[in-house]
Each structure stands twice: as C-alpha cells, then as structure tokens.
Chain A
Amino acid sequence: MTGKLPGPGPGERMRPEGRRNEDGIRIDPEAEARHEPRRAVLSALVEHQPGVLAEVSGLFSRRQFNIESLTVGTTVDESRARMTIVIEETRPGIQQAKKQLRKLIPVVSVRELDHDSIQRELVIVKVNGDEPDKVHAITEMYGGETLDAGPRTITVEITGNVQKIDDAIDAYKQFGIREIVRTGYAALSRGEQQTAEVEETVKLTAETETPADDD
C-alpha cells in the first residue's frame, strides 16, 4: 500500500495566529467579520458596437454579480453608449465588478456614482380604468403622465427615483394593476463632474463634456 511520507503529522504542526474572512481579508480571529452588501450604481461608457451588451451582461451572470438593473443607450458621441448598472454586492464584490467590467475591451470607462448622483427610472403602469378621476389625481401627484386612457384601462408613466416610483406603484395598487414595466436606472453624476473617467487618448468631444442637466 501507499507508504506515509516522513515528517510530523497534521496535528503536530505549527499553527498561524491570524485568520482571513471569506473575502480573503485579514480579520480579528475572534470576530468573523463579514461585509454587508450595499447597492452601487455603476456607469460604464462603452463602444457602441454589436454584442457589447451581451458581453457585459454575460460577464455579470457568469461571475454571479447580483444585478438589479441595467440600462443602455447612445450618447452624444454616436460611437459610444452609456450603461447604467445597479448591483447589490459586498464591498469586495463591487470593486471586483468594476475591475472586471473595465477589462472588457469595448469598455472605455467605469465609475461608481455617488449617492447624490442623478438617478432616474421610468415606469409604465397599466391599471383598471374604473376610477379615471382618482387615477388621474395620483398621476398628477407623482408628476406623471397619462399615456393611454380607455373605458377599461388607463396607462400612465412616472419618472423618478426608486422611492418615488415604489410609492406611486403602491398608490396605483388600489385600482388593480394589470401590467407594469420598469426600465431600471439611468444615471449621471451631478454638476460639472464627468460621469465617465475617460483617458486622455480617448477624450470625448466638447459636446459630451457639457454638464448634465440637473433634475
């Protein structure tokens, strides 16, 4: 049979004093520190080319990042598109998501946006049309717009931050919501700060640098 190699066995060996947590971070061995997940809004400027969305979404799914929403659209520069990606991850997870995203060749820039960045989502809600006046009042209250009104259904759109949209949806529930569609976040940084960290070599046109409108 297979012989035993020489040397003291596992129980007789020197032991280290420290310990790391599951993220490979050194910790106090007494306290098994864990990082709580938080919500992060990432903005990626990408080359506007076929397959780039598949590449980004594929990256997120195969690395098991917990993605909440992903929106994409063109920018002033027609060769570039901007993606807004909302993820819920631990701190190391968010860092890793940013780095992995940045590694993709068509990705020009990746930045995590501050809490005070401008973050907006659009929702379209189709409710029962039995009480059109009440529906209209709520739409007004949330600064929304009625897109379609018929004898049996009313469809409205609301734009705003997640809290406002959640509240509006709650309010519409009394009429009976038939269908709903949410776009996920579109976001830009506030004021003069640029949303993308673009290297000098791929500096965008002056137009793109125009500060974004405030809300």
Chain B
Amino acid sequence: MSDSAQTPHADEVEAEATDEKPGQPEGESHVEPIENGADAVVAALKNAGVDYLFGVQGGAIMPVYDALYSETDMTHVTMAHEQGAVHAADAYGIVTGDPGVCMATSGPGATNLVTGIADASMDSDPLIALTGQVPTDLVGNDAFQETDTIGVTQPITKYNHFAASPDEVGDDVSTAYALADEGRQGPTLVDLPKDVTQPETDVEPGKPETPDTYNPPEKADEDAVSEAADVISDADKPVILAGGGVIKANASDELRAFAKKHEIPVMTTMPGTGAFDQTHELSMGIAGMHGTGYANMAITLTDCMLAIGTRFDDRLTGDVKTFAPDADVVHVDIDPAEISKNIEADYPLLGDAKAVLDQLGDAMTDSPEAEAWREQCQTWKDEYPLDYEMPEDRPLKPQYVVEQFDEAMPDDTIVTAGVGQHQMWAWQYWTWTEPRTWVTSHGLGTMGYGFPAAIGAKIAEPDREVVAFEGDGSFLMTSQELSVAVRENLDITIVVLNNEAIGMVRQWQDGFYEGRHMASEYPWVPEFDKLAEAYGARGFRLEDYEEVDEVIEAAMEYDGPSVVDAIIDPEENVYPMVPSGGDNSLFALSEADLDEI
C-alpha cells in the first residue's frame, strides 16, 4: 500500500472525526487512524463497545485480522473450528445481552458458521458474523474458497449485507451491529470482500444505528393494554407463560413483581427458563414436550394466558388444537409477525416486554380472584413432581448428577447444554432462579452447542461458575474446543452425561420405532476424561454414587477446564414426555403411557 499521498489526508480526517464527536466519552472512540477498509471494520466494532471477538483466521479475512494485530481494547479468541466461534459468540451475546461477534474467512469458514447463525436466528440471539469474501472481481466465478455467503445466510439472518466499498464498510458493520441488538434481537452478517477491506480509506464509521425503515415498537397501545388488563383481572384460571423474550428484554424483575402482586402462576418456556424464580410458590416450572406435568396441565386448562415473548414453538404447544383451548390469549411480543403466527392472540400487545409489563402493571386495578385455581395448580404440583428412581444396583442416574451439581454450585452459575437427553435432564433438574443462566440451543437443537457456549459464557462472565452439560454424542461434535479452553485457562466444568448413545434418538426409537436402535448407539466413544488429559485439561471418571460429591468438589476446585465423564444408566429416559404434536395434558409418565395416548 502506498502511504505517500494518503497518510497526511488520513491524519487530517482522523483529527476532524475526533472533533466531530464531542459527546463520545473518552476512550470509547476509535483513536487509531483509519487507513483501510479493515481498519474501518475494527473501528466500527470498537465504537460499538465490542470487547471480544471469536473466530478463525483465513485467507479472505486476513486484512481484518491484520487490523486487529496491534489492537489492545478488543481481544480476539481463536477457536478450533468456526462452529465453536459462532456458538461461543452466541453464548457471549446471551449472557451479556449485547451482540457477540464472530469472524471467519470465506467459503468453508463462512459455511462453518452457518449452523450457529441459524441457531441464533431461531433463538433471537444478538450476534454479528463477519465473513471474508474473495475479491469482487472473482465473485461469481467459483473462485478458490468462494461461497455465496449472502445467499446462503439470507434465510437465517435478520439482516445480511455484501460490503461494496471501503468507504462504506465501517458503516455497514455499525448498521449490522445495531440491527442485531435492537428490536427483536437476532443474527446479522456482513460479507467482506478482500478488495473492500484491503484498499485505502480514511472514512470513520458512524455509531451503530438502524436504518430509518426499521422501527420496532416500544410501548403497546394504551387501549389494548387496558382491555387486556381487564381480561386478566376477570380470569378465573390465569397463567403467565414467560418466553425467552422476557429475558431478552431484561424484564425478569417486572415479570416477578407483576406475578407476585397479582398472584398469577408462572410457567416458562425453555428459552424463558430463569425469567421466574422456580423456588417461588407461584412457579409452575417449565412447559412443553419435556416440561413438568403440572405446567402442562395448567397450560391446557387455563382460561387466560398472558404469554410474553414466546413464539409458541411446536415443542411448546404440541398440537395447536389442544393448546390452551379454553384460554383468552394475551400475547406480548416485539415482533408483529409472531402475533397469531401459531396461536391466535385474542389480545395482542405489541411492544418491548419490559415496557408492556410496566404498562400492564399500571393498568391492572384488580387482581384476578383465582384462589381455587392456585390450589388446583398446587395439587398438580404435588401429583406430578419431577422424580426418578435410584436403585443401588443400577448405574448412576443422570438426574442425580445434575441435582448434585445444582446443590454444589451458586445460584448465579451459568449452565450451558448441548442437545439431547442430557439437555433435558439439566433443564428439568436444575433449580432456575436467575435469568441469563440457561444457555442452550432451543429452537435449532444443535448438538455440540454446550461446550463452545460455555467458553463464550466464561469469557463474558469470568467471575461466575460455568458448567456445561453435554452428552457423549453431543460433546464429540465440538470437543476439539478443549484446546481453546486449555489455552485460555478457562475455569469451566464439562459434565458429560455418558450413556454411549444419542440418547434422545434412542428414546424415540424405543417409543416409536419398536426399539430398533439404528445408528443411535455409540459404544466407541472415547474415555472423555483421558481425552481431556490429552488436551491438558483435568479429567474425571464418575461411575458410582459414592464418588459424586468428591468429583464435583475436585472439578470445582480445579482452576481450569475439567471434564467429568459421568457414566450414566444407559436405559434411563426422559419423562414426562408429550409425544411430538401431541396434547400437552396427555404427557406420558413412562414408556407404557406412550402406548395409551
């Protein structure tokens, strides 16, 4: 790059740019002169307040990495695989509430991000992906490591953009950041051709701002709120169904205050887990396919459901025909397209969950008279507790392992999970009291999510305990990230609930495929404790009840990543269970029930 003619000009512009932003606190603005498009990308991230980036280096993204070389305010965490990078960034975004940032090169780098982007899209997680791209004159020619990343990611991003000019690329990144964060959060992507990041420019990016055409609602219509408040007040059998949107909107406190003031039982969806304190008497636990029996009874028999920030996923509703069929549905959501998408909303309240809960709180003059309903709910809680048998002659029960970790670890521990039976046991048997402590792949169901997510979570919250529950099948998919956890000396405990199977598939094979275990049994998994040691982490093998407390203590005491390979009862399955597309109140309590319903 020639600097003879450009450097003085760049300096001037940099000085002007600094003058133009008197309102920006010191130390937050980009102070290095912008010399090329990659500098502008980095400056945009820095202006947005990004502290960490997760990624993998590669040919087409090299200019951006080069611009990070002397960067001291932001830390780049090199991951073993791009999928690890995107899940770590995703978890970082979930735990902090601010967009996580991941980077990859073009072609295979970009496509390796796709799973994690789709994951973030399904779960409305704030995430920005920056992908390298081949130079524009090669685009469309099937050049080396070329993929139509924009085309590939269009259905799974909230917004994606092909950067066309070095002068605009900084603003492109700022816009993508703002869009990931505002309104209904979600993943955004900027594709960065090498001839956009490499050439000279001195244009400072603006602050993150969404386009004029993007106007998410804030407060709900007052008349609609007052109408909804009347319906809730008049209900005999009210419930609140809290979805992930409550946590995304930081509305847990408002939810708790509202529910407690009006004594309305609260159940959460899987992404909404932690929005309400499960130790509170009004908690009805978790609803859906593997939710509690009592939540699913209440969800079916309620006459008024205040549903907040949920998209009524089919794993929650089962058969929509039998979902809360007697209920007036008050649906609070920031995304108009969620209203009446799966379940018709009788009273739609369009707005931010926090703001709308405040509005509803003001509008509710009377609490519903629902003493009998609360008693009924308590009866169901007594009738259908989560429970399991623990015969001494059987191998370890996974539920017991989860419970013991829950007991040993503080309330604000961040729990991540992969996908499968282990995820469901962790969800069911952990006691959730705080928001942003349950980090898993809800909508997409991505196996292998839990461990790289734990890396992102630990980096976001280094002072908090982080435990990753994984299955043997799930952990196999991303266990190479152990190299990262060891390099960064991250104090994470990975608990592999090892039943030598893709257990959830095997459970379905038992229930619906006459026990034909096609490709679901994994008797060849490695000894995960030894795998951990090979990477330089601590490994524990856990086989007996007597060892549980001791291993938990040792794993927690170890200052670095440790893997507990917990050999669990391979015949244990997850119950209760609503068969796919079934009636929530007809949940099965055992395999025998599945034949009946």
Contact = CB atoms under 8 A, between A and B. Distances in A.
B28 interface: no
Interface stretch (A15-23, A124-132, A139-147): A15-23
B301 A10 contact: no
A5 B387 contact: yes
9 interchain residue pairs of minimum CB distance:
A18-B325, A99-B337, A4-B590, A24-B343, A3-B389, A5-B589, A7-B384, A7-B383, A10-B586
Given A15-B585, A199-B215, A20 B337 contact: no
Given A21-B321, A25-B344, A5 B293 contact: yes
Contacts of B320: 20, 22-24
B591 A2 contact: yes
B213 A16 contact: no
Interface residues of B, number: 59
B596 interface: yes
Interface of B: 150-151, 154-155, 158-159, 162, 179, 211-215, 293, 297, 300-301, 312, 317, 320-326, 335-337, 339-344, 346, 383-389, 571-573, 575-576, 585-593, 596-597
Given A7-B589, A10-B588, A51-B154, 16 more contacts: A4-B589, A4-B590, A5-B384, A5-B387, A6-B383, A9-B593, A9-B596, A16-B325, A17-B326, A20-B325, A24-B323, A26-B325, A96-B337, A99-B337, A106-B213, A201-B212
B592 A24 contact: no
Interface of A: 1-11, 13-26, 47, 50-51, 54-55, 58-59, 62, 92, 95-96, 99-100, 102-103, 105-108, 199, 201-202
A16 B326 contact: yes
Contacts of A102: 336-337
Nearest to A106: B213
Contacts of B572: 2
Contacts of A50: 162
B344 A6 contact: no
Contacts of B162: 50-51
28 contacts: A4-B590, A4-B592, A5-B386, A5-B388, A6-B387, A6-B589, A10-B587, A10-B597, A14-B297, A14-B301, A16-B322, A18-B326, A19-B322, A20-B325, A20-B344, A50-B162, A51-B154, A59-B155, A92-B340, A92-B344, A95-B340, A100-B337, A103-B337, A108-B213, A199-B212, A201-B212, A202-B212, A202-B213
Contacts of B214: 105
A6 B385 contact: yes
Given A24-B343, A51-B150, A10 B596 contact: yes
A201 B159 CA distance: 20
B429 to A, nearest CB: 13
Contact of A9 (B301, B385, B571, B589): B589
B344 A26 contact: yes
Contacts of B337: 96, 99-100, 102-103
Contacts of B150: 51
Nearest to B572: A2
A131 B575 CA distance: 77
Nearest to A201: B212
A105 B179 CA distance: 9
Contacts of A21: 321
A93 to B, nearest CB: 10
Contacts of A100: 337
Contacts of A22: 320-321
A111 to B, nearest CB: 14
